[in-house]
Amino acid sequence: MSGGYNFAYLDEQTKRMIRRALLKAVAIPGYQVPFGSREMPLPYGWGTGGIQVTASIIGAADTLKVIDQGADDTTNAVSIRRFFARTTGVRTTERTIDATIIQTRHRIPETKLGDDQIIVFQVPIPEPLRWLEPRETETRRMHAYADYAVMHVRLYEDVARYGHIATAYDYPVVVNGRYLMRPSPIPKFDNPKLDFSPALMLFGAGREKRIYAVPPYTSVKSLDFEDHPFRIETWTTRCALCGSGDSFLDEVITDDRGGRMFVCSDTDYCAGRRNTEAAAE
Amino acid sequence: MSAPDADLVEPAGRPLDAPLLSVRGLTKRYSSRIACRDVTFDLWPGEVMAVVGESGAGKTTLLNCVSGQIEPSAGEILFTRRDGSTADLYRIPEPERRRLMRTDWGIIHQNPRDGLRFNVSTGGNVGERLMAIGARNYASIRGEAIQWLDRLEVDTGRVDDLPATLSGGMQQRVQIARNLITHPRLVFMDEPTGGLDVSVQARLLDLLRSLVTELHLAAVIVTHDLAVARLLADRLMVMRGGDVVELGLTDQVLDDPQEPYTQLLVSSVLQI
């Protein structure tokens, strides 16, 4: 742990302010709570919201895991993990089951989370109605009155144009039967994992200065039509490395002659499966 | 001043015991400027009232106040709900006002860009109100949208096209379909035929006239075109500088205008 900074970089007053916003967010599932977002030593869009949430909840006894698109070893994940290792000295891990706090950019781990874990999402645009209604005054009213018809108009447009609901990520959900929420740009594959999750889910948007949350065991329903129900992505192939048939697969281009393979996006899950296989042999 | 006699009956046979819309002493000020002053009128179920007057007479302000879009400075607007109870438009909670506005009312703007979502297909535009009141079956929403487009004489093959690709007259008809899909009882129209050429205007007016009769719609139509008023309206309100100059049966007002301003207005119409 390097000197000169307070524990977890932010000063204690800021952390308190963020915790108050978090408490309110947990008390009103899916509601966007404004908070005084601080300048962080990384650019907007790199996870300033998530990093502030993590900084205000992390304690010396915590174990932190950071993922970026499911992977532990990409730039964003590595730099945020190192940031907290240096400013707090907490243990970090790449194993989902060992972590108490998981900060994530756009995935939920394949391994089922437990009720002793907290997952923190980095959110670019928190307002689900933003591209449909540009006025903040109006979107606030729409939330207040649960007036969410335009969202269905968007899904209607998808079906009219593509024959199915083509929204594949950031798929709109209704939390606790009340607030419309943007689950951050996770693939819709992960939407079912939000529903009645035992883990607390916190969402931080640094540039937009909003925090929202899904408390444990809260209903999270993806919007759909009766005759076009919500469906998650499926693949015709399995993970080329671990053979998993039920995880989210990334397409990896392997050469410039059309070679490609599909591998698990969750690197820890994939490695875990391969290790178990190796141990069994 | 002629409210229809109380013993008139609706086609369904129910007595007309209450006006659908009752406006009392409505005044709207923009700081010291008065846009409309002390307007009082009743609108009965199935009745069409036109508001005419020159630009700046306060017609559109009146329409916006009465249709729940701008809060008036004084006066009250009473609306009779479907269950017979009365709602004071600006005293009921905003959610209820918004719900009323998109179920029991239609608002048709002069410019289709104000009344349609231009980044959403025609079908989505027409079906929006159904989704707003809880329809969640794609096929039936689309089916009903197509039905209404057909009724408004819009080529049903255009259901997935964006409104920008339609002609002005079609856009206006899509806007009307979008409003009528929830079977409103009251429709507000601001210059529904403004900006359309004469032949398109004539067909739209014809269509509006038959719809108003078939659906037993009450309507408030703001226009500066006396011919539109003559064709569609049962009653006519003449406004000037924010004041109501004359209010009466359309034919009466147009054929035998009493007020000097109305006489001027009627005599200004070009005869071909």
- pLDDT tens digits for A12-62? 999 999 999 999 999 999 999 999 999 999 899 899 999 999 999 999 999
Nearest to A104 by CA among A139, A72, A127, A152: A72
* pLDDT reported for residue B4: 45
Arithmetic mean of pLDDT, A133-144: 93
Query: In one letter, which amino acid is A28?
Result: I
In terms of C-beta density within 10 A (0-12 exposed, 13-18 middle, 19 or more buried), how is residue B38 classed?
middle
* pLDDT reported for residue B14: 46
Cα separation, A221 vs A196, whole angstroms: 10
Arithmetic mean of pLDDT, B253-269: 89
* pLDDT reported for residue A59: 95
pTM for this prediction: 0.86
Contact A226 B136 (CB under 8 A): yes
B136 vs A159, A161, A225: nearest CB: A225
Arithmetic mean of pLDDT, B40-48: 93
Arithmetic mean of pLDDT, B95-121: 90
* pLDDT reported for residue A2: 56
Mean pLDDT of chain B: 88
B131 vs A153, A224, A226: nearest CB: A153
Q: Per-residue pLDDT tens for B183-227?
A: 999 999 998 887 788 888 888 888 888 988 898 899 999 988 888
Q: Please give the residue of chain A at the shortest CA–CA distance from B129.
A: A149
Q: Per-residue pLDDT tens for B80-100?
A: 988 888 999 999 999 899 888
* pLDDT reported for residue B224: 84
Q: Which of residues 167-226 of A touch B (CB under 8 A)?
A: 224-226
* pLDDT reported for residue B16: 54
Whether A258 is a known active-site residue: answer no
Query: Residue A225: its chain B contacts at CB < 8 A?
Result: 136-138
Q: Which of residues 150-169 of A touch B (CB under 8 A)?
A: 150, 152-153, 156-157, 159-161
- Listed in sequence order, the residues at least 6 apart from B67 whose beta carbon sits closer than 8 Å to its beta carbon are B101, B105, B107, B188, B220
Whether A36 is a known active-site residue: answer no
Quote ipTM for the complex: 0.83
Cα separation, A118 vs A109, whole angstroms: 12
* pLDDT reported for residue B54: 86
Arithmetic mean of pLDDT, A77-85: 94
Looking at residue A231, the DSSP 8-state letter turns out to be -
pLDDT at A88 over 50: yes
* A77 compared with B7, residue with greater pLDDT: A77
